[in-house]
């Protein structure tokens, strides 16, 4: 009897253990899994779900938005004049909250500043409107699930329930702040600076190293009124000379001065609506050098305490040195005990070794490279090359604002060379360390995230790996969302011919002209300029057209002849069959009949044609954008030529 009872007890214990093990685990499945709900991850999830694909965003914190909200950096750097895709939609919602563009141009670091909690709430509202999108908060990434080089999903730790959650997915997007997913999957990546001899970039970096940019634990200060005294208890280790040179009112020597601004202007740098201030001052402020990329989550938390401590010393410095005692950490922003942001502002992490590596020469001179990466663009940026290295004197100190035009990020920078089932977003895309200085900014990260979401959705719909999906299909999906694929400053999405100009620009038939322009670089398309023969001859090289004209500028009649020649050369591949391409007289009449329907004016055979008109004419007839399919390097592989 005793022995039977003993056996029964053992069985009960075993069953109890098994039951507890089952309840401590959870399994989910989805089409697209976005790991990280930061700036890029949120956009990726939104885009994927909008394209009708079941999507999960797994985010370790309780906020969406990453650096633009949870990290307390709610100031959009760049792209003000390129209102593109989800970034433009987000900005429009910010305008609605505060009452228009002039209400958010409160600080001089950006044209668009807002309170962090507003950024989080906007993204949550956008996400909740999508039935195909599920957001799982407080899910800490643990490891990937893979079979060789095929990524199958990931395992998370659900912080509230204290159990593991396994999520299987057909496509995974690494949108973590530091590229943790690609590291777990053993996908090749880089960390730190490459020597100029390695990249071919003319930036005078003598040797490869593991130096990354300084990070910042930002703070949001609130004005509690002129009579308030919110002065902190003097922080441990405080020495005001730590901030020597932060402004012209506190500099021991002219050589120490990092920015020739007053203390008030330094504060107004990140002035937000509703009497708040973003403290993210790069010049002898609260930047700090910490490289936590290879550390565990627990080790990172410990290191980040150093960044928090420096920020609190800087806040005390502002309060006591300049009399800003009425300013203190906002009590209505972050759901944290210390009122600091949920995460630090990481400017740089692991960088994928992708199908393509986007380098400075692809930005500075995109149309004269061996790789035509501009043809494969899926996101745009216009910010200068901005590197933060003042807190690490072993880093090169000359990587300030390298003059570049606006640019587009190639699709191949999001795709690993060999691993499948995974796409990379956020700051982990395949760029050089130098180029990370501009692709890391919020609008560009949001747009590369949107592109990652579009690519992932197309992988599901077409049952293909990311490298097999047509560049043009991804670009068309983004154009459908009013996102730029070419960085043309002078043709906005509100222009009825925006899509045609973007598409013809991506073929290279008509190229733009870049112009470095300080904080808002540009590339001009010049839509109203005339089409020159030399420009057209160069642009048609990959379309194998021996175009001839007796004029310096192309007339409409010759442009129609080009349409006929392209139709003959690509016989069987022209999607539009509504035009009589074989009969030139009939073709000319058909185009004349459609001219005004396309929103064009003044059809005359012998009139010189503008760049806008030629773009629309090509796009609406033979559609060269879809005739030649570029590979990840922008080279033409699919030979449709007759």
Backbone φ/ψ region at 230: left (φ over 0), alpha (ψ -120 to 50), beta:
alpha
Give the residue carrying structure tokens 């395992």: 155
Identify which of 627, 479, 476, 515 has the alpha carbon closest to the alpha carbon of residue 563. Answer: 627
- Residue of higher predicted confidence among 408 and 639: 408
The per-residue pLDDT for range 140-149, each reduced to its tens digit, is 999 999 999 9
Is pLDDT of 214 > 70?
Answer: yes
The per-residue pLDDT for range 442-496, each reduced to its tens digit, is 999 999 999 999 999 999 999 999 999 999 999 999 999 999 999 999 999 999 9
pLDDT (0 to 100) of residue 535: 86
The per-residue pLDDT for range 599-625, each reduced to its tens digit, is 999 999 999 999 999 999 999 999 999
Is pLDDT of 19 > 50?
Answer: no
> Which two three-digit tokens encode residue 414?
């999001």
Mean pLDDT of 108-131: 98
pLDDT (0 to 100) of residue 542: 80
Report the chain's mean pLDDT, rounded to a whole number: 93
> Which two three-digit tokens encode residue 521?
């670089």
pLDDT (0 to 100) of residue 250: 97
- Residue 239 and residue 484: Cα distance in Å, rounded? 48
> For residues 348 and 440, is the Cβ–Cβ distance under 8 A?
yes
Is pLDDT of 166 > 80?
Answer: yes
- Residue 35 and residue 617: Cα distance in Å, rounded? 43
Pairing of strands 55-59, 133-137: parallel
- Residue 131 and residue 55: Cα distance in Å, rounded? 9
DSSP 8-class letter at 350: -
pLDDT (0 to 100) of residue 18: 43
Mean pLDDT of 288-308: 97
> For residues 494 and 411, is the Cβ–Cβ distance under 8 A?
no
What is the percent of the chain with per-residue pLDDT over 90, rounded to a whole number?
86
> Which two three-digit tokens encode residue 348?
């740089």
Q: Is the pTM of this model over 0.85?
A: yes
Alpha-helical segments (H) within 382-441: 433-439
* Cβ contacts of 184 within 8 Å, gap of 6 or more: 141, 143, 144, 154
Q: Give domain limits for the chain.
A: 27-209+348-356+418-460, 215-329, 498-627
Mean pLDDT of 106-114: 97
The per-residue pLDDT for range 418-442, each reduced to its tens digit, is 999 999 999 999 999 999 999 999 9
Q: How confident is the model at residue 639 (pLDDT cuts 50, 70, 90)?
A: low
The per-residue pLDDT for range 361-377, each reduced to its tens digit, is 999 999 999 999 999 99
The per-residue pLDDT for range 43-72, each reduced to its tens digit, is 999 999 999 999 999 999 999 999 999 999
Q: DSSP letter string over 138-183?
A: SEEEEEEEEETTEEEEEEEEETTTTEEEEEEEEEEEE--SS-HHHH
* Cβ contacts of 612 within 8 Å, gap of 6 or more: 491, 497, 501, 527, 528
Q: How confident is the model at residue 401 (pLDDT cuts 50, 70, 90)?
A: low
Alpha-helical segments (H) within 75-132: 85-98, 116-128
Give the residue carrying structure tokens 């009579």: 227
The per-residue pLDDT for range 319-359, each reduced to its tens digit, is 999 999 999 999 999 999 999 999 999 999 999 999 999 99
* Cβ contacts of 125 within 8 Å, gap of 6 or more: 93
pLDDT (0 to 100) of residue 14: 45
pLDDT (0 to 100) of residue 397: 78
- Residue 533 and residue 539: Cα distance in Å, rounded? 10
- Residue 358 and residue 110: Cα distance in Å, rounded? 26
- Residue 84 and residue 380: Cα distance in Å, rounded? 8
CA angle 290, 294, 299 (to 5 degrees): 70
pLDDT (0 to 100) of residue 4: 55
Identify which of 32, 107, 102 has the alpha carbon closest to the alpha carbon of residue 76. Answer: 107
The per-residue pLDDT for range 535-585, each reduced to its tens digit, is 888 888 887 666 676 678 999 999 999 999 999 888 877 766 789 999 999
The per-residue pLDDT for range 224-255, each reduced to its tens digit, is 999 999 999 999 999 999 999 999 999 999 99
Q: How confident is the model at residue 24 (pLDDT cuts 50, 70, 90)?
A: low
Domain 27-209+348-356+418-460, classified CATH 3.40.630.30, yes or no: no
Q: Which long-range contacts (CB under 8 A, 24 or more apart) does 233-239 make?
A: 234/316, 235/309, 235/312, 235/313, 235/316, 236/309, 237/309, 237/313, 238/313, 238/316, 238/317
The percent of the chain in helix, strand and coil, each rounded to the nearest 5, is: 35, 15, 45
- Residue 91 and residue 101: Cα distance in Å, rounded? 9
Is pLDDT of 13 > 50?
Answer: no
What is the percent of the chain with per-residue pLDDT over 70, rounded to a whole number?
94
């Amino acid at each position: 009897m005793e022995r039977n009872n003993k056996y029964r007890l053992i069985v009960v214990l075993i069953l109890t253990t098994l039951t507890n093990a089952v309840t401590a685990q959870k399994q989910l499945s989805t089409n697209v899994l976005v790991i990280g709900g930061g700036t890029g991850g949120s956009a990726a999830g939104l885009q994927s779900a909008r394209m009708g694909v079941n999507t999960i965003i797994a985010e370790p914190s309780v906020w969406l938005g990453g650096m633009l909200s949870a990290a307390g950096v709610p100031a959009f750097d760049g792209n003000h004049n390129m209102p593109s895709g989800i970034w433009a939609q987000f900005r429009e919602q910010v305008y609605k909250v505060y009452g228009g563009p002039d209400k958010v141009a409160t600080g001089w670091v950006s044209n668009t500043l807002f309170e962090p909690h507003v950024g989080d709430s906007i993204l949550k509202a956008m996400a909740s409107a999508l039935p195909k999108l599920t957001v799982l908060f407080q899910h800490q990434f643990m490891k990937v699930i893979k079979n060789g080089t095929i990524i199958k999903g990931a395992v998370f730790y659900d912080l509230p329930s204290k159990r593991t959650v396994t999520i299987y997915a057909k496509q995974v997007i690494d949108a973590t702040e530091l590229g943790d997913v690609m590291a777990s999957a053993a996908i090749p990546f880089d960390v730190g600076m490459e020597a100029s001899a390695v990249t071919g970039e003319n930036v005078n970096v003598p040797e490869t190293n593991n130096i990354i940019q300084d990070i910042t634990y930002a703070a949001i200060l609130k004005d509690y009124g002129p009579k308030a005294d919110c002065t902190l208890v003097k922080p441990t280790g405080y020495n005001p000379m730590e901030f020597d040179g932060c402004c012209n009112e506190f500099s021991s020597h002219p050589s120490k001065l990092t920015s020739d601004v007053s203390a008030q202007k330094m504060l107004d740098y990140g002035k937000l609506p509703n009497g708040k201030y973003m403290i993210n001052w790069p010049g002898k402020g609260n930047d700090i050098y910490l490289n936590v990329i290879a550390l565990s989550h627990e080790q990172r938390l410990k290191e980040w305490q150093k960044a928090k401590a420096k920020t609190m010393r800087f806040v005390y410095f502002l309060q006591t040195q300049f009399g800003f005692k009425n300013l203190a950490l906002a009590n209505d922003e972050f759901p944290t005990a210390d009122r600091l942001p949920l995460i630090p502002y990481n400017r740089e992490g692991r960088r994928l070794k992708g199908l393509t590596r986007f380098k400075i020469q692809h930005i500075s001179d995109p149309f004269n490279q061996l790789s035509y990466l501009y043809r494969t663009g899926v996101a745009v940026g216009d910010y200068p090359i901005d590197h933060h290295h003042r807190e690490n004197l072993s880093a090169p100190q000359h990587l300030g604002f390298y003059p570049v035009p606006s640019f587009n990020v190639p699709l191949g920078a999001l795709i690993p060379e060999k691993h499948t089932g995974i796409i990379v977003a956020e700051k982990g895309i395949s760029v050089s360390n130098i180029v990370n200085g501009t692709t890391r900014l919020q609008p560009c990260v949001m747009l590369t995230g949107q592109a990652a979401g579009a690519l992932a959705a197309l992988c599901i719909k077409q049952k293909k790996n990311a490298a097999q999906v047509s560049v043009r299909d991804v670009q068309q999906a983004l154009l459908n969302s009013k996102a730029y694929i070419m960085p043309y400053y002078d043709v906005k999405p509100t222009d009825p011919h925006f899509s045609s100009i973007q598409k013809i620009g991506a073929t290279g038939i008509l190229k733009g002209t870049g112009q470095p322009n300080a904080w808002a670089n540009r590339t001009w398309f010049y839509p109203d300029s005339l089409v020159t023969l030399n420009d057209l001859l160069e642009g048609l090289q990959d379309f194998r057209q021996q175009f001839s004209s007796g004029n310096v500028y192309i007339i409409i009649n010759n442009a129609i002849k080009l349409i006929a020649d392209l139709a003959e050369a690509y016989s069987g591949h022209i999607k539009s069959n509504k035009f009589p391409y074989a009969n030139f007289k009939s073709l000319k009449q058909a185009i004349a009949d459609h001219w005004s329907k396309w929103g064009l004016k003044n059809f005359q055979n012998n009139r010189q044609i503008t760049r806008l008109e030629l773009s629309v004419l090509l796009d609406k007839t033979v559609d060269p954008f879809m005739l030649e399919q570029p590979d990840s390097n922008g080279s033409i592989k699919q030979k449709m030529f007759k």
